[in-house]
Structures are given as structure tokens and as C-alpha cells.
């Protein structure tokens, strides 16, 4: 599900079951992240799929990339693997108004 920057941030803030997932490359991740994000690179293909499949399917996943395209694809894959609550950050980290921290 695609969420606006505002909706993504406000929904995340009140979600005790939230996991923030960064699907960018390791180099992009190391340039700065949304606080507490874990990194699983969508470009890793089968490795990405197996790591996503191993995640706790009862959690709510807030997914982002640089601009929102890769994270939208990641959310589709997550849905196919049985993760119902995967929320894409429309506009990605490029449009993020919140804090960006070092991993």
C-alpha cells in the first residue's frame, strides 16, 4: 500500500508493531537512513526474497527506497510472500522531511 510521506510518518509513529525496512543498496543505506531501519537490498534477487520470507509476518513493515519505485516493488513481493501489512513510502527518502541518521 502506498502512503504519502505524512500518512507513512503518522501511522508509523503510533504503531508498536512496526518494522522500518530500507530496500536500497548497502552503499545507499550507509549514506543515511530513517532511524531504526533494517536494510535488505531488493537488487539481491533470490537473497532478498529469502530474507523477506524469513521476516515475522505478523509485523507491520514500513518500506522505503530512494524515490519509492523499488520499495513499491518490494511491497508487492512482500504481499506475495504473505506479509499483508507492507506500507510504501511514496517519494522515498528523497522526499522525507524527518530525521536521517547514520546506520
DSSP β-ladder status, 33-34 and 100-101: antiparallel
Please count the structural domains in the chain: 1
Read off the pLDDT of residues 6-41 as tens digits, 9 standing for 90 and up: 999 999 999 999 999 999 999 999 999 999 999 999
The whole-number pLDDT of residue 66 equals 98
Sign of the dihedral through C-alpha 91, 94, 86, 15: negative
Read off the pLDDT of residues 44-100 as tens digits, 9 standing for 90 and up: 999 999 999 999 999 999 999 999 999 999 999 999 999 999 999 999 999 999 999
Domain extent for 54? 2-101
CATH of the domain at 60: 3.40.250.10
Tell me the H-state helices in 21-97: 26-30, 46-53, 69-80
The whole-number pLDDT of residue 95 equals 95
Global pTM?
0.97
Q: Is 20 helix (H, G, I), strand (E, B) or coil?
A: strand
The whole-number pLDDT of residue 45 equals 96
Residue 68 corresponds to which cell in the numbers above? 519509492
Q: How far apart are CA 75 and CA 78, in angstroms?
A: 5
Amino acid at each position: 500500500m502506498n502512503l504519502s510521506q505524512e500518512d507513512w510518518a503518522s501511522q508509523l509513529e503510533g504503531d508498536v508493531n512496526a518494522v522500518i525496512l530500507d530496500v536500497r543498496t548497502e552503499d545507499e543505506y550507509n549514506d543515511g537512513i530513517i532511524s531504526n531501519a533494517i536494510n535488505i537490498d531488493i537488487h539481491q534477487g533470490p537473497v532478498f526474497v529469502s530474507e523477506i520470507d524469513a521476516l515475522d509476518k505478523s509485523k507491520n513493515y514500513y518500506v522505503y527506497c530512494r524515490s519509492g519505485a523499488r520499495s513499491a516493488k518490494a511491497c508487492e513481493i512482500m504481499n506475495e510472500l504473505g506479509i499483508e501489512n507492507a506500507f510504501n513510502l511514496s517519494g522515498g527518502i528523497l522526499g522525507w522531511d524527518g530525521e536521517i541518521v547514520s546506520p
